[in-house]
Structure 1
Amino acid sequence: MTSFRIKTINAIAPEGLELLGDEYAVDPDDSNPHGIVVRSSQVDVDDYPELLALARAGAGVNNITVDKATEKGICIFNTPGANANAVVDLVFPMIGIWLRNIYQGIAFCKSLAEIPPDQVSGEVESRKAAFRGVEIAGKTLGVIGLGQIGVRLANGGIQRFMKVYGFDPFPSLDNIHNLLPEVTVTRAMRDTLAQADIVSLHLPVNEKTKGMVNADFISKMKPGAILVNYARGPIVDEDAVLAALDSGQLEAFISDFPTPAVIRHPKTLTTPHLGASTAESEGNCSRMAVRELSAYLHYGNITHSVNFPNIESIPSSTVHTRLIIINNDVPGLIGFITNTLGNHGVNIVSFKNESNGRVGYNIIDLESALDAKILAELTANKDVIRTREITFS
């Protein structure tokens, strides 16, 4: 019997969707789903009145109206780390393509198809010096943003015999602990920028990072450095980068986000947003997104949410109803909830609460069904954003 309606937006890898059982109805044309799985398309949660949760099969969520979702009690998930290998797998070859003049070398070789065969070998020997490059080994790599992608890139630099500096404005200890000891983590971004021959960006897009790579940022970089953006396009002030390329402050700009101005410049190298475009990455993201969404719909559990606190609880065999209460994080809400339930003689099997500083999330397990009047009393509190009942057979 179908319990939940799931809408897919974009091509979601089947490896994840195959994890959904018969209790799910998956339909890309569903106009009023309980859950959504999306990759890169823009999603406005106002368009879906019964939406409970949305899972982004990727790391960035700038294509989703997250603030609106929080106000409506809609949980937004992402899949950090699921595409990390794919991005790192592409960044190093792209740096190598620039440093070794591989793009020009390939174009030259293709042009040899137009000359007589007996002249090809001589032409290669006489002109190959024009494409001589430099090695990655020995260069200094600066990584801005030490999430799972940034950490793997930094470690990859060490494995390629580079010196590596890293900076993150809000470091996660779990990620930092995964850095190789040879990586130097600086306390100020300028200390990383000043050392690096190559600066690679690995930050999310938000109000603090949008346009962060501006003229002031570039002025702190080592003259003649290479800037790499395989994070998000809006992080970079395009005009500032082009001006720095013209002045020689930057040697090159390597990006996954082509625009008309960027692709026309001779000192740029771009790919068509391929960072996460591997079969393995898409499968990993799909599986992770579906597992997150399913755990939330079935049990109210949360992992890797960008707007709600992470929280998990396993219901015991005596639990009949799980009550989910999402609220503004203000004093007195837990007392209000427990007093309301206690005043009506409701026995609480377990009560778990977590907060992220803005949103409080409560998982309350009950031995019996919850009367609609009690639920209405809880919902009437001005700081309760949303309530939800999950019934176990």
Structure 2
Amino acid sequence: MTADVWLPLPPDEIEGLPAGPEYRFWNGEKDFPADPADCSFYVVPYMKPAEVVVRPLPQLGSVQVVQTLSAGIDSLEPGLKHLRPGVQVCNARGVHEASTAELALTLILASLRGVPDFVRGQELGEWRGGFRPALADKSVLIVGYGSIGSAIEDRLVPFEVARVVRVARSARTTERGPVHPLTDLPRLLPEADVVVLITPLTESTRGLAGADFLARMKDGALLVNVARGPVVDTKALLAELESGRITAALDVTDPEPLPREHPLWKAPGVLISPHVGGPTSAFLPRAKRLIVNQLTRFVNREPLANVILTTGSPDA
């Protein structure tokens, strides 16, 4: 095999790459590292704007695999129409579970226990004591029960939550219990103290947490979004926050990055982190392992892991 492989990491920094391909380093720079027409395996630059990562797609005439380093492929979707039929598009399942689940738990605990208020008090030299909500004995609803949702549940269990309720696109049964379909949300939302969003961004989940969804949440409930910003209707969320009825912890927003003057920054009862669920010290070793594993499979003509869709197929 002599076809090119485009990597967003320098090849000499990835131990175990299989021999055969010509490895090219490209992390979104203006100039391409070689002729895109010769690229057979494209590993998408991580945390780059959609317009950057899709720019090569119309010229990838011989590409066979597009591999993201993100859990979702929404940034790629505008450019998928440029790919020829039969291209396998793979996500980064196995890379972000630990980091994103850690952050989800951090946001839950920080919000419930009032950590932002403690920080403000420290800046002013004020001792702000009193009772705060605990995570223990709470009911947590996870909306989007895939590998990251499962990892979030792993970390919730030791905190003695009353129960974890799981929701995904379709119903199924796991060793831990049932996974409810999205259609069950109207009946499940009023029972949850904490609602965690970790769904992929699709046309069916865009605006999922809209006015009706939020209105069904119980008074005093906490909404945690570690999915994608547009899964939540920002205007509807602002209305609920301003009323003081619910609180929110958001690692992602719509728009994103959140403009300095946006009212969400100063809304009551909201904690905002700047989309940092994935980029931690855990990312790089897991991303490198994924790249090596996928390329080894590719070179040996073995089935790839994490195939989300194949272009030109009926469900693509």
> Normalising by structure 1, what TM-score?
0.67
Q: Deviations over 1:234-257 (max 9, x none)?
A: 211111111111123322343334
- In structure 2, give the amino acid aligned to 1:47: Q
Structure 2 CA distance for partners of 1:101 and 1:31, relative to 1, 3 Å: farther
SS of alignment partner, residue 207 of structure 2: coil
Alignment pair present for 1:40 and 2:52 = no
Distance 1:26 1:71 in 2: 22
Alignment of 1:78-157 (within 5 A): 78-112=91-125, 127-129=127-129, 132-157=131-156
Give the direction of change, closer, same or farther, for the CA distance of 1:158–1:327 in structure 2 (3 Å limit).
closer
- Aligned-pair distance for 1:93? 1.5
Aligned to 1:18: 15
Q: Which residue of 1 aligns with 2:90?
A: 77
Give distance in 1, aligned partners of 2:168 and 2:315: 23
- Going from structure 1 to structure 2, the CA distance change for 1:293 and 1:216 (only over 3 Å counts) comes to farther
Q: Deviations over 1:6-60 (max 9, x none)?
A: 2234xx4879832213423222123412211122332332132232211111210
C-alpha displacement of 1:70? 6.2
Change (3 A) 1:161 1:111: same
Q: Equivalents in 2 of 1:50, 1:259: separation in Å? A: 38
8 Å Cα contact 2:207/2:233 also seen in 1: yes
Structure 1 vs Structure 2: percent identity of aligned residues?
A: 23
Relative to structure 1, the CA distance from residue 327 to residue 59 in structure 2 (aligned partners, 3 Å threshold; closer, same or farther) is closer
* CA 34–269 in structure 1, closer or farther in 2 if over 3 Å, else same: same
Q: Which range moves more in the overlay, 192-201 or 33-42?
A: 33-42
Distance apart, 1:203 and its partner CA: 0.6
Q: Which has the larger radius of gyration?
A: 1
Q: Distance in 1 between matches of 2:159 and 2:198?
A: 19
String of CA shifts for 1:360-392, please: whole Å, max 9, x gaps: xxxxxxxxxxxxxxxxxxxxxxxxxxxxxxxxx
> How is 1:260-279 mapped onto 2 (pairs within 5 angstroms)?
260=259, 261=262, 262-279=264-281
Match of 1:295 in 2: 297
Q: Distance between the aligned counterparts of 1:358 and 1:165, measured in 2?
A: 29
Pair 51,172 (structure 1): closer, same or farther in 2 beyond 3 Å: farther
- Contact 1:78 1:305 (8 Å CA) reproduced: yes
Distance 2:114 2:290 in 1: 38
- SS across alignment from 1:150: helix
Indicate the structure whose relative CO is greater, using CA pairs within 8 Å and at least 6 residues apart. Answer: 2
Partner of 1:129, secondary structure, is: coil
Equivalent residue runs for 1:338-353 within 5 Å: none
1:30 equivalenced with 2:42 (yes/no): no
Q: How many matched pairs? A: 291
Task: Measure how far apart 1:142 and its partner are.
Answer: 0.8
The offset of 1:300, in angstroms, is 5.5
**Alpha-carbon spacing, 1:254–1:40, altered in 2? closer, same or farther (3 Å):** closer
C-alpha deviation, 1:155, in angstroms: 3.6
Within 2, Cα distance between the matches of 1:280 and 1:15? 20
**Unaligned ranges ≥5, structure 1:** 113-123, 309-325, 329-356, 360-393
Q: 1: CA distance between counterparts of 2:12 and 2:98? A: 18
Gaps of 5+ in 2: 27-32
The SS at the match of 2:309 is coil
What is the Cα-based RMSD across aligned positions, in Å? 2.7
Shift of residue 263 of structure 1?
Answer: 2.0
Q: Give 1:172 shift.
A: 6.0
